[in-house]
Amino acid sequence: MFEYQAPEDLLKDRIILVTGAGAGIGRVAAKTFAAHGATVILLGRTLEKLEQVYDEIEAAGHPQPALVPLNLESAQEHDFIELTNTLEQEFGRIDGILHNAGLLGVRTHIQTYDPVIWQQVMQVNLNAPFMLTQILMPLLERSENASIVFTSSSVGRKGRAYWGAYGVSKFATEGLMQTLADEVENISNIRANCINPGATRTQMRSSAYPAENPASVTAPEDIMPLYLYLMGRDSLEVNGQSLDAQ
Ligand code: NAP
């Protein structure tokens, strides 16, 4: 497990966007960031799930979050522009993005992979993070130090049979992160890195490994040290890295 002890106020006054914040790792990351003082912007496709996370953060007495219901599969340029305008008016800047929303797609041979599902997975896992990052760069540039965290996977570092579009999208995510990190190195206050969460107890993990006993898999809460480290001031010099949460 990545070892890091976050100070309680690590993310005080920071404004952090979390995609896929309604469930799984994103839900726990949003709550963890809020518990460390951040104002979190909860982006996801299912409003009820986002509202539940919102209520939990409020009930815990953490900074009031913001809600952004948005389906990253169908979102168009105008949706991203609207989001940016809203965030600019509301906050004036952004200090972090956790690109966490993800689609597993199907587990099958490349030979039989449904091209429609391929496009959907690429849209959510790769194209949406690209478009969101691009349009939010001006707001990130207004931060004293901004952190962009992409979510990768072990199948995005070494190709593995039957992981199809998912694995390929994660390879491309690593490439996107490296390209961006090299562009911002030394000339900006922005850093970009990847997290590989490792096997984590969520709906996606159960779908990929239906025969596995969920109790044997690491809980999302246990992988939070790396998420906090990359969002906070202790990782200011870290750029272009792909780190393992476990
Ligand atoms: P999860 O439980 O399936 O949660 C995924 C989240 O993404 C959900 O909140 C989901 O929203 C959201 N999402 C999916 N499609 C979306 C769309 N079109 N628009 C907006 N939001 C969308 O998955 P997870 O396990 O927490 O995975 C989080 C990230 O970690 C993913 O990038 C995944 O690839 C990566 N990862 C996970 C593991 C693991 O073992 N769990 C391992 C390696 C990498 P709904 O709840 O509304 O469906």
- What pLDDT, on a 0 to 100 scale, did the predictor assign at position 2? 96
Cα(100) to ligand 1 centroid in Å equals: 6
Q: Which of 46, 79, 100 to mutate to test the pocket of ligand 1 (most atoms within 8 A of CB)?
A: 100
User: 132 in a domain, yes or no?
Assistant: yes
Residue 70 lies inside a defined structural domain of this protein: yes
User: Average pLDDT in the 164-185 region?
Assistant: 98
- The ligand 1 atom nearest the CA atom of 22: 9
Average pLDDT of the segment spanning 157-184: 98
Distance of CA 91 to the CA centre of its chain: 20
What tokens were used for 58? 């409020």
- DSSP 3-state assignment of 77? helix
Atom index in ligand 1 nearest the CA of residue 207 equals 3
Q: Give the pLDDT of residue 35.
A: 98
CATH number at residue 86: 3.40.50.720
Would you place residue 19 in the very low, low, confident or very high pLDDT band (cuts 50, 70, 90)? very high
Residues 89-128: tens digit of each pLDDT? 999 999 999 999 999 999 999 999 999 999 999 999 999 9
How remote is the CA of residue 114 from the centroid of ligand 1, in Å? 20
The proportion of the chain whose per-residue pLDDT surpasses 70, expressed as a percent, equals 100
22 lines ligand 1 (CB under 6 A): yes
Looking at the CA of residue 45, tell me the nearest atom of ligand 1: 20
> Does residue 214 lie within any of the structural domains?
yes
Distance 124 CA to ligand 1 centre (A): 10
Q: Is 7 domain-assigned?
A: no
In sign, the C-alpha dihedral spanning 126, 243, 146, 62 is positive
What are residue 242's DSSP bridge partners?
194
45 lines ligand 1 (CB under 6 A): yes
Residue 207 covered by a domain: yes
DSSP for residue 145: S
DSSP conformational letter for 218: B
- Please report the atom of ligand 1 found closest to the CA of residue 23: 9
- The owner of tokens 């949003």 is 30
Give the residue numbers spanning the domain of 160.
15-244
How distant, in Å, are the alpha carbons of 54, 96, 236 from that of 142? 26, 11, 16
* 136 close to 62: Cβ distance less than 8 angstroms: no
Residue 3 lies in a domain: no
For residue 174, what are the contacts with CB-CB under 8 A and spacing of at least 6? 150, 152, 156, 157, 194, 242
Check if the beta carbon of residue 30 is closer than 8 Å to that of residue 44: no
Q: How far is the CA of 20 from the centre of ligand 1 (A)?
A: 6
Give a yes or no: residue 5 inside a domain. no
Inside any domain, residue 133: yes
pLDDT in tens, 196-213: 999 999 999 999 999 999
Residue 70 CA to ligand 1 centre (angstroms): 14
Q: Indicate the pTM of the whole model.
A: 0.98
User: Mind listing the pLDDT tens digit for each residue in 212-237?
Assistant: 999 999 999 999 999 999 999 999 99
203 lines ligand 1 (CB under 6 A): yes
| The total number of structural domains that make up the chain | 1
Q: Would you list the DSSP string of 8-63?
A: TTTTTT-EEEEESTTSHHHHHHHHHHHHTT-EEEEEES-HHHHHHHHHHHHHTTPP
Please report which confidence band the pLDDT of residue 22 belongs to, taking 50, 70 and 90 as the band edges.
Answer: very high
In this prediction, residue 138 carries a pLDDT of 97
Which residues participate in catalysis according to the annotation?
A: 166
pLDDT at 231: 98
pLDDT of residue 234: 98
One-letter amino acid identity for 91? F
Q: What is the pLDDT of residue 29?
A: 99
